[in-house]
Structure 1
Amino acid sequence: MSRQVKRVGYNKTMRLSAIKKIDITSSTIFRVLLILLGFWFIYRIFDIVIMLFAAFIVASLVEPIARYLDRWKIPRALSVIVFYVLVLLILAGLITLIVEPVVIQSRQLATVVPSVINSLNELTPLIPRIEHAALIDSIQSGLLNFGDNIANLSWNVFTGTRSVIAGFVSFLFVFVIALYLVVERDALKKMAKLLTPTEHYSYVARMIERAQKSVGRWVVGQIVLGLMVGLLVGVSMWLIGVPYALLLGILAGVLEIVPAIGPLIAATPGVLVALTQGWAMGLTAFVVYVIIGQVESHVLIPNVMRRAVGLPPLVTIIAVIIGARLLGVLGIILAVPAATIIAIFLSDIARADGAEELSG
C-alpha cells in the first residue's frame, strides 16, 4: 500500500514538472511573434533581399581582386570600377561575336528536329518508336523562340518598356551595393555588429568572412569550369564535324552548374545531332563526351574547385531545382551560393555539437 502511495506521489510530481516545462511565458509569445513578424517582413521585401544577396555574391567575387590590388596602393573604388568596365566590355564582345551564330544555329537545329527523331526510330527495334508530332512541334518552337529572344535582346534594351527599366535599375542596384561592400572594408561585419549581441559578434563575423571567401571561390571556380568545359565541347564537336558546335559548347558550359545531371543533359542533344550524320559520327560524339566527362571529373574539378566549399552533388541538384522553382534562371544562379552559406553554418553547428559531446 505504501508503495502505491509513493508511486502515485511520484506520478503527480512528474505531471507537475511536465506542466512547468511547457509553461509559456509572455516573453516566449513575444519572441515567437517577433520571429513571425520578421518572416513576414522578409516576404514583403523578398525581391530586395534577393538583390542584396546577389550583391553579396558579386562582392565576394571582386573582394580577392581588390585585396590583391591593395598591394600597389590602388584605391578600391578605382579597382572595382575598372573591373566592372572590363567585365562589361568582355561580355559585350562575347555577345557581339556569338549572338548571331547562336541564333542561326538555333533556327537551323529546329529544322532538323524531324530528321533527329527519324534517326532515333531507325537505330534499333528495341527502342520504342517516337511518333509524337506534338513533341517535334514543341522542340522546334522552343528552339525558334530561343533564337528570336536572343535576336531581339538588343532591341528590347532600347524599347523603354517598364520591365526593361526595372531590370536595369535592379542590375545597377546590385552592382552599386557590391561596390559599397568592397570599398567599405568589413561593411558586413559592421552591420552585423549593430544587429548582433556583443557575446555573439565574433562568431557571426567569423562566419561572414568564411561565407564570403567560400562563395567567391565557388563563383570563380564555376566560371572557369564552365568556360573550360564549354570550350572543350565546342572545339571537339567542331573538330569531328558535328553541326551546331557553338550551340552545343555554350549549352555544356551553362549546364556545368548542375553536377552529374548537367553534363548528361548537355551531352544528349550533341549525340542526337551527331546521329543525323550517321552511326559513326554519333558513336564518335558519344566517346568524345565520355572523355570530356572523365577529364572534368578527374582533372578539372579537383584542381579548379579544390578551394571551394564542396557540396554533395545531391544537395546541389536539390538546391538548383528549388531555386529554379522559386526564381527561375535567377534562382538557378543563386541556389548554390545560398546552399554553400547554409552548409557552412550547419557544419559549424555540427562541429560545435561534436566538441560538446566529446568534452561531456
Structure 2
Amino acid sequence: MKNLSKKHIKLFFVILLLLLVAIFILPVSIPLILAFITALILNPIVRWFIKKFKLNRKLAVTIVFLLFILIISTIGTYAVTKIIGQVINFAENVPTYIIQLKDQVLEWEKDLDHFSEDLPAELIEEVKTQIQSTTTSLSNNVREMLQIEDIAKVASKIPDYLVSFIVYLIALFLFMLEIPRLKAIAYSHLKESTADKVKFMNDRLSYVILGFFKAQFLVSIVIFIVTLIGLYIIVPEYALIMSLIIWIIDFIPIIGSIAILGPWSLYMLITGDLFIGGQLAILAIILLAIRRTVEPKVMGKHIGLSPLATLIAMYIGLKLLGILGFIVGPLLVIAFNSAKEAGIIKTNFKV
C-alpha cells in the first residue's frame, strides 16, 4: 500500500511537471522545438552524406545546414519581396477598389429601383439602407486594417521575429550535431528490451515523418502546377505570385487554397467582373477536388495515416499549440502509431 502510494505521488508530480512545461515553457520554446523537429527531418540527409562521401558528422552537418540555409533564404527572399510589392500595390489601390465597390452598389440601387416599382417604398428604402451600411462598414474595416499604427505594430515585432529566427538557426545546427549523443543519453536510461522497441519506433517514425512531408510536397506540387496554369489563363499578371501564396496556404488543410481564391472570386463577382470571378470559383473547386482525391492516395501510400486522422490531429494541434500544432499534431499521431507497432503501447483491450 505504501509503495502504491509512492507511485501515485510520483505519477502526480510527473503529470504536474508536464503540465507546467506545456503551459509555461512550451509557448516560449517554439523556435527550439521547430529546430529539434527540423534536425530530426534533416538527419537522414546527414547520414546519407556521411555514408555516400565518407565524411565525418561535423562536415556533413555543415554541408546540409548550409544547403538548407541557401534554399530557405532563396525562397524566402523571393517570396517576401514579391509579397511586399503586391501588398504595397494593393494598399495604394485600396481607394480605387472602394470607389469601384461604391459604383457597383449605385448600379445595384438603380437596378433595384427598376425591378421593384411595385414593391412597398419602405421595403426598398430598408434594402438600400442595409446595402449602404454594409458598404460603409466594409470600407471602414479596410481602412482600419491599413492604418499606419497597425503597420507600425507589425514592424515593431520584426526584431523579435529576427531574434527567434537566429535562435532557431543556431539551435538547428547544434541539434544536428548532437542528435547521436542525445540518442545515446536517452537509450542509456532504458532497459535492453525497451531500447530495442524504442529503436524500432525511432526507425519507423523517421520513415513515416519523411513520408508525411514527401506526401505533402508531392500533393502541393500538383496544386501549384494546376494553380499556375489556371491563373496564367485567368490573370497572367498575378499568376506567379498568387500561385506561390496559394501553394503556401494550401499546406494548411483546414483552410486550403479556398481561403485565397474564395474571397478573390467573390470580390470580382461583386465588382461586376462575372467572367473572371466565375473562372476563379471554378479553379477553387478544381483545386479542392484535386486535394480531396489525390491526398488520400498519396498520404496512405507514404505514411498509412488517413486524411481524417491528419485533419483531426492538425485541428486539435492548432487549438492547443497554435500554428505549431499543424506540425506537432500529426507527428504525435504518427508517434503513437509507431509506439503501438513497436509494442510500447498496447490497445488490444476489450470493455
TM-score normalized by the length of structure 1: 0.69
Give 2:262's aligned residue: 268
Q: Can you list the C-alpha shifts for 1:82-105, whole angstroms capped at 9, x where unaligned?
A: 232223223333333333332232
Q: Can you list the C-alpha shifts for 1:196-253, whole angstroms capped at 9, x where unaligned?
A: 3444222222222222222222233334433542343244213322664345323322
Structural mapping, 1:303-314, within 5 Å: 303=298, 306-313=301-308
Give 2:9's aligned residue: 30
Of 336, 342, 345, the match for 1:342: 336
- Cα shift at 1:268: 0.8
Residues 336 and 304 of structure 1: is their aligned pair in 2 closer, same or farther, counting only changes over 3 Å?
closer
Give 2:205's aligned residue: 211
Q: Are 2:75 and 1:94 equivalent residues in the alignment?
A: yes
Give 1:61's aligned residue: 41
Q: Are 2:98 and 1:106 equivalent residues in the alignment?
A: no
1:257 is paired with a residue whose SS is coil
Contact persistence 2:295–2:307 (CA under 8 A):
no
Give 1:46's aligned residue: 26
Question: Which shifted more, 327-336 or 208-217?
Answer: 327-336
Of 45, 58, 61, the match for 1:77: 58
- CA distance in 1 between counterparts of 2:28 and 2:14 reads 19
Q: Which runs of 5+ in 2 are unaligned?
A: 113-129
- CA distance in 1 between counterparts of 2:299 and 2:193 reads 38
TM-score normalized by the length of structure 2: 0.71
Give 1:282's aligned residue: 277
1:33 partner letter: F
Give 1:9's aligned residue: none
Q: Can you list the C-alpha shifts for 1:125-149, whole angstroms capped at 9, x where unaligned?
A: 9xx958154444435554788x968
Residues 76 and 138 of structure 1: is their aligned pair in 2 closer, same or farther, counting only changes over 3 Å?
farther
Give 1:292's aligned residue: 287
- CA distance in 2 between counterparts of 1:119 and 1:340 reads 51
Residues 60 and 248 of structure 1: is their aligned pair in 2 closer, same or farther, counting only changes over 3 Å?
same
Q: Which runs of 5+ in 1 are unaligned?
A: 1-19
- CA distance in 2 between counterparts of 1:194 and 1:278 reads 67
Give 1:225's aligned residue: 219
Residues 306 and 53 of structure 1: is their aligned pair in 2 closer, same or farther, counting only changes over 3 Å?
farther
Contact persistence 2:318–2:325 (CA under 8 A):
yes
Query: Displaced runs of 4+ in structure 1, greater than 4 A?
Result: 47-52, 115-122, 139-145, 346-352
Give 1:190's aligned residue: 184
1:31 partner letter: K
Compute the RMSD of aligned alpha carbons: 4.2
Give 1:256's aligned residue: 250
Give 1:14's aligned residue: none
Q: Can you list the C-alpha shifts for 1:306-360, whole angstroms capped at 9, x where unaligned?
A: 31342433x4344334444444433434333234323444576799444x77xxx
Identity %: 19
How many residues align? The count is 321
